[in-house]
Amino acid sequence: MFVNLIMDPEPSSLLILLLLLALSAVFSGAETALVSLTPAKIKAMHPKKRHSVRLIQRLKERPQKMLTTILLGNNVVNIAATSYATVLADAYFANNAITIVTAVMTGTILIFGEILPKAIANRYAASFARVVIYILLVVETIFFPLIWVLEKFISTLLRIFGSTNIQAVTEDELIAMVNIGAAEGSLDKHEQELIENVLDFDDTEVDAIMTPRVKIDAIEVNKTVKQAIEIALEKGRSRLPVYDEQIDNIVGVISVRYLLELQSDAANLGKTMKELTLTPAMKSPITRKINSLFNELRSKHLHMAFVYDEHGGLEGLVTMEDVLEELVGEILDEYDKEEEAELVQVDNNTIMVNGDVPIKMIEDALQLEIEGYEDNDQIAWVILDILNRYPNKGEKVQLTPNLQAVIEHITKVKKVIEKVKIQRV
């Protein structure tokens, strides 16, 4: 009966061949569809298709078994299709049958059994997977013994070569996917920055986000409540570090809210910081990662930590706000002030700049060139280099024959040049 069917050119013979080619397309497409479905995409699939979604999840939980089932099925039908076509062609082409079948079936399987179904499955992965999952389960049931043996054999080989699990997505791959998503418009700039910040969170050290020592507004332990309130309000701080004798010796933190509560009783205004209950001062090494610092701050319910170098010198401070801003961007509280602009154009010949402004910004603003320095050299450093000493407030420094810097503000203790007026002369 079977021989007669093969030798007889009836439509049923072609239908069997087409069925085998269709199954080849199913297995090829299944591989593309299921591999491309991430856990997030599976969860987002239509809620009315819960049964097929559960079956897909179950199969995806064992990727090695899934791939073994698909590749076994695909190879079986491809071999069967080629063998069947060879038997059919032999009845008509005799000696040339193998050559003709090889040429025709190679092209047919490549186009209709590989390229086309994979392209369709890639575009409609969820829908394709829901359809083919039942066929795969049938194949898995029929060939269970063989699949089990192959799976164990492959697992053994992987262990021999030092690999037992499919590798997870690396951080670089995640960043690449985020960049692609942003380029294609599926992620906006803020979302891209947020994801990148989360990925960098484990690698960033506290010195990258800390407020440096010279910019810390702290109060001496013998200062009174009244003095502390005045300093806090003047500086716009919600908390003040308290130190004993020198700023390296931080003994605690006082909150403005607590100070204002004490202010309600005039008898408290004369109390010193050492008479009050201070929040403990948490110390951190400068090499610590910010995710570790964040976890400790949160567990101890503290708002700031003081960063020290290996010699015990205070380098700066990091607040919980600083850590969160590293993730989500700028956060303003009720005491924050908008930052002053780094460069303000007074008139066509005069600008006011911060001491840390690079000279390239000054050159661009005034359309001139300050020779002898790199673009990223800060104006404060340039002034110190020219004078070879610390300047005084109001002192004029000749930058070029036609350009002058006037020191508008410099800190008394650390001699930090904070504000400079640049003018043509």
* CATH level 3 topology of 343-424: 3.30.465
The confidence score (pLDDT) of residue 333 equals 54
Kindly list the domain boundaries of the chain, sorted by start residue. Answer: 2-160, 171-200, 206-328, 343-424
Residue position matching structure tokens 């701050």: 297
The confidence score (pLDDT) of residue 127 equals 84
**Which pairs from 410-419 meet CB under 8 Å and 24+ separation?**
411/214, 414/214, 415/390, 416/214, 416/355, 416/380, 417/355, 417/379, 417/380, 417/383, 417/384, 417/391, 418/354, 418/355, 419/352, 419/353, 419/354, 419/355
The confidence score (pLDDT) of residue 276 equals 92
**What is the DSSP annotation of 371-425?**
TTS-TT-BHHHHHHHHHSS---TT-EEEEETTEEEEEEEE-TTT--EEEEEEEE-
Half-sphere exposure of 214 (CA within 13 A, CB side): 9
How far apart, in whole angstroms, are the C-alpha atoms of residue 68 and residue 60?
12
Beta carbons of 33 and 128 less than 8 angstroms apart: yes
The confidence score (pLDDT) of residue 5 equals 40
The confidence score (pLDDT) of residue 334 equals 45
Beta carbons of 245 and 230 less than 8 angstroms apart: no
Largest CA distance in the chain: 115
The confidence score (pLDDT) of residue 18 equals 87
The confidence score (pLDDT) of residue 13 equals 74
The CA–CA distances, whole Å, from 278 to 77, 253, 267, 315, 319 equal: 77, 5, 19, 21, 16
Indicate the burial class of 102 (C-beta count within 10 angstroms; 0-12, 13-18, 19 or more). middle
> In the β-sheet with 314-319, what is the strand arrangement from edge to edge?
211-212, 314-319, 304-308, 282-285
Of 227, 206, 219, 225, residue with least CA distance to 304: 206
Percent of the chain with pLDDT over 90: 19
Q: Where are the alpha helices (DSSP H) in 301-371?
A: 320-328, 359-366
How far is CA 89 from its chain centroid? 58
The confidence score (pLDDT) of residue 92 equals 64
**Residue ranges of the chain with per-residue pLDDT less than 50:** 1-8, 334-335, 337-339
The CA–CA distances, whole Å, from 286 to 206, 213, 281 equal: 6, 12, 15
The confidence score (pLDDT) of residue 7 equals 46
Domain 206-328 has CATH 3.30.420.110: no
In this predicted model, what pLDDT tens digit does every residue of 306-353 receive, in sequence order?
A: 999 988 899 999 988 888 877 666 555 544 544 455 788 888 889 999
The confidence score (pLDDT) of residue 403 equals 93
Of 127, 114, 116, 125, residue with least CA distance to 36: 125
Beta carbons of 417 and 394 less than 8 angstroms apart: no
Of 255, 247, 321, 323, residue with least CA distance to 288: 323
List of residues 6+ apart from 130 with CB closer than 8 A: 45, 49, 52, 53, 56
